[in-house]
A and B are shown apart, each in its own frame.
Chain A
Amino acid sequence: MGVYLIRRVLQGIPVIVLSTIMVFVVIHLIPGDPAQVLAGADASASYLASIRHSMGLDQPLPVQYLIWVKHILRGDLGVSTQGQTVAFLLEARVPATLELAGAAMALSLLISIPLGVLAAAVNGTKADWLISTIQSIWLAIPNFFLGILFVILFALILRWLPPGGRTADGRDIGGSVKSLILPSVSLALGLSAFLSRFVKFNMLEVLYDDFVRTARAKGLRSRRVIFGHALRNAMLPVITILGLQFAGLLGGQVVIETVFSWPGIGGLLLDAIGGRDYPVVEAGLLFLVLLIIAVNILVDLTYGFIDPRTRLSDAR
């Protein structure tokens, strides 16, 4: 397992390098001269040149890229055009984003696995048809519209939950949970509609495999066969797709953060794009991409943990 872990983490490095290059290129494609922005419109040519020199903009692009990477590795993400360091801005936002993403991911698993198993168990019946119709409708409702509907119903009409914002006070656990419910459920429902279909599909594939028949022939109880044998094997592709879906989840999260005024990376990134605050855009994009890569490595490791064959064949 140790070798497998190291090998898998090393495999992530080229992807990380590629994504830093992409973020760098994207930022440099944006029209407008940062030195001009800093110097002001009526700055003299020599002053502009000196600023350009101090920002390293007079260097060739590959050199600029290496300098940029060196700064990142040192933990120096630059300074926002608003004056604060980017690291400080990110630090304030990261916990909120991770909390929401984690909660949404966990919730969608909690919903989709039982639902998918149930749908597979009743496959072909009226109950199955009902579940799949509800899934189709769920899938079609954009999460930001669902979020708005939730706000209208649970915050404005019933007054059960706050319409937005995040309570992050360690002493007010109830308040924190309350503020997390609506955004995480809005995010999780769409994902679980998709995931539960996938769970069902994989359960159906596995349920007719020989080892399931053997388990049944051994006289094991139906529940034991489904959860002990079939589900464990059906989970492999589900976990893979979960990793792939994480990117989509983070994308959707940016929108949901806006709906619920959730103080995460999404809002920071949006404001930065609107205000042309490139150091922040750069760092925000990079953070999200690295998070996605990290989650995918984690997914692969789980895969190796559940299915020993994966890490054995890889080590050969």
Chain B
Amino acid sequence: MAVHADSTASLPVVPVAAVKVRKPRGPLAMGFIRTAANPVGMFGMIILAVLVLTALFAPVLAPYDPLLQHPGLELSGPSRTFPLGTDELGRDILSRLIYGARPSLLVAVMVVAMAGGLGIFSGLLAGFLGGWIDTVLMRLFDALLAFPAILLGFAVVAILGPGTTQVAYAIAFATLPGLARVTRALVLRERNRDYILAARSMGASGGRVMFKHVLPNSLPPLFVNLALLMGFSILAEAALAFLGLGTRPPLPSWGAMLNESRTYLRVAPWLAISPGAALAFLLLGLNYLADALRDAFDPRRINAGL
């Protein structure tokens, strides 16, 4: 750039490096920053992080093996050795609670990946392509939506048999149609906007328009749905485990722990309190996270400077 340097030589030099031009952050990044800046959103993120870390580092965090039975110490109340007490087989509740985070997280992640991935993809296809694909997919999903989610879960578990991953398939199957419908509605809204027309007129292929333009612009409201989906799948996993259709004993899961506690409510109510409270905290956190995401990605609020 010799020419450039010469022409500016006689002029007062403004040191370019000193003027810090910050690259503008994308709307997605801004949305997440707003979410974290919201105390309610922060609370939700912390709760979610605690779940993930607890599930991942369960072997390090748990004081005992969750399956180890302590003979003679059955149904003992909270104490220094057993902070949350022991169950009917003398197993440490705290350790079982910590390991019980695993099926919850596993199901949440699997459902968000499967129902989220397939639901968004099929909603995108239906909304963007329209025509017979739209008709077929949406009529199919309408029929599925007529079934209550938990009954669909029952039906799938009846086919696949009980177990953690089977439960994840069941919940994903039951929640996919709802997510597809929401995605489709968002895609329909974006599809006819000017920037899509612009992209098309510049010769962008259908696939490029669909994935590069329509999808990213339809995503933000879906984060709210995904956070709610995560909460729902954790709740549904616990409910199915509570009914004896989820994680198989002796492996710990919060729903199954609640179910086992029912026999001993009179003598050992603490058996029910800790898994129930853990579940309620997690769901509260996820609901709050969804609220914060909704606020952060709501264009009306952003433009109003809120």
Residue ranges of A at the interface with B (Cβ–Cβ < 8 Å): 15, 18-19, 22, 26, 29-31, 136-137, 139-142, 144-145, 148-149, 151-152, 156, 163, 247-248, 250-252, 254-255, 258-259, 269-270, 273-274, 281, 285, 288-289, 292-293
Q: How many A-B residue pairs have CB under 8 A?
A: 115
Do A142 and B238 touch across chains, with their CB atoms under 8 A apart?
yes
Do B287 and A292 touch across chains, with their CB atoms under 8 A apart?
no
- A296 closest partner in B (C-beta): B146
- B209 lies within 8 A of chain A by Cβ: no
Nearest CB of chain A from residue B36's CB, rounded to whole Å: 19
Main secondary structure of the interface of B (DSSP, over half): helix
Chain B 218-255, CB within 8 Å of chain A: the 1/0 string? 00000000000000000100110011110000000000
- B106 lies within 8 A of chain A by Cβ: no
Q: Please name 16 further chain A to chain B contacts, defined as beta carbons within 8 Å, in addition to the given A136-B284, A163-B265, A250-B151, sorted by A numbering.
A: A15-B142, A19-B143, A19-B147, A139-B287, A141-B276, A142-B235, A142-B280, A144-B258, A145-B258, A148-B258, A149-B276, A156-B269, A247-B146, A251-B151, A258-B242, A281-B158
**Bound Cα distance from A19 to B142, whole angstroms:** 10
Do B276 and A273 touch across chains, with their CB atoms under 8 A apart?
no
A-B contact pairs, 20 of them (CB 8 A): A15-B143, A26-B155, A26-B159, A29-B159, A30-B159, A31-B159, A140-B283, A141-B276, A141-B280, A145-B280, A148-B258, A148-B262, A148-B276, A163-B265, A252-B150, A254-B150, A255-B242, A270-B243, A273-B245, A274-B244
Nearest CB of chain B from residue A57's CB, rounded to whole Å: 18
Nearest CB of chain A from residue B224's CB, rounded to whole Å: 15
Do A136 and B287 touch across chains, with their CB atoms under 8 A apart?
yes
Do A156 and B265 touch across chains, with their CB atoms under 8 A apart?
yes
Determine which residue in B147, B242, B269 has the highest number of CB atoms from chain A within 10 A of its CB, and name it: B147
Residues from chain A with a CB closer than 8 A to the CB of B109 are none
Chain B 274-290, CB within 8 Å of chain A: the 1/0 string? 00100111011001100
**Bound Cα distance from A75 to B148, whole angstroms:** 24
Residues from chain A with a CB closer than 8 A to the CB of B284 are 136-137, 139-140
Residue ranges of B at the interface with A (Cβ–Cβ < 8 Å): 142-144, 146-151, 154-155, 157-159, 235, 238-239, 242-245, 258, 261-262, 265-266, 269, 272, 276, 279-281, 283-284, 287-288, 291
Residues from chain B with a CB closer than 8 A to the CB of A254 are 150-151, 154, 243
- A29 closest partner in B (C-beta): B159
Nearest CB of chain A from residue B304's CB, rounded to whole Å: 15
Residues from chain B with a CB closer than 8 A to the CB of A15 are 142-143, 146
**Bound Cα distance from A18 to B82, whole angstroms:** 53
Nearest CB of chain B from residue A28's CB, rounded to whole Å: 10
- A132 closest partner in B (C-beta): B291
Do A136 and B288 touch across chains, with their CB atoms under 8 A apart?
yes
Do A18 and B283 touch across chains, with their CB atoms under 8 A apart?
no
Residues from chain B with a CB closer than 8 A to the CB of A18 are 142-143, 146
**Bound Cα distance from A144 to B150, whole angstroms:** 14
Contact of A288 among B151, B159, B287, B288 (CB under 8 A): B151
Do B243 and A258 touch across chains, with their CB atoms under 8 A apart?
yes
Residues from chain A with a CB closer than 8 A to the CB of B245 are 270, 273
By Cβ-Cβ distance, the 8 closest A-B pairs, closest first, are: A251-B150, A145-B276, A140-B284, A247-B148, A140-B283, A251-B148, A18-B143, A26-B155
- A16 closest partner in B (C-beta): B146
Residues from chain B with a CB closer than 8 A to the CB of A258 are 242-243
Contact of A293 among B144, B146, B262 (CB under 8 A): B146
Do A255 and B243 touch across chains, with their CB atoms under 8 A apart?
yes
**Bound Cα distance from A149 to B275, whole angstroms:** 12
Do B151 and A285 touch across chains, with their CB atoms under 8 A apart?
yes
**Bound Cα distance from A251 to B146, whole angstroms:** 12
Do B262 and A248 touch across chains, with their CB atoms under 8 A apart?
no
Do A145 and B243 touch across chains, with their CB atoms under 8 A apart?
no
- B275 closest partner in A (C-beta): A145
Determine which residue in B143, B146, B159, B265 has the highest number of CB atoms from chain A within 10 A of its CB, and name it: B146
Do B146 and A292 touch across chains, with their CB atoms under 8 A apart?
yes
Do B272 and A148 touch across chains, with their CB atoms under 8 A apart?
yes
Residues from chain A with a CB closer than 8 A to the CB of B272 are 145, 148-149, 152
Given contacts A140-B283, A156-B266, contact A248 B158 (CB under 8 A): no
Do B265 and A152 touch across chains, with their CB atoms under 8 A apart?
yes
Do A255 and B146 touch across chains, with their CB atoms under 8 A apart?
no
Given contacts A152-B269, A152-B272, contact A248 B159 (CB under 8 A): no
Residues from chain B with a CB closer than 8 A to the CB of A142 are 235, 238-239, 276, 279-280, 283
Nearest CB of chain B from residue A81's CB, rounded to whole Å: 14
Nearest CB of chain A from residue B157's CB, rounded to whole Å: 7
- A152 closest partner in B (C-beta): B269
**Bound Cα distance from A57 to B245, whole angstroms:** 29
**Bound Cα distance from A139 to B280, whole angstroms:** 9
Given contacts A26-B155, A29-B159, A248-B148, contact A148 B143 (CB under 8 A): no
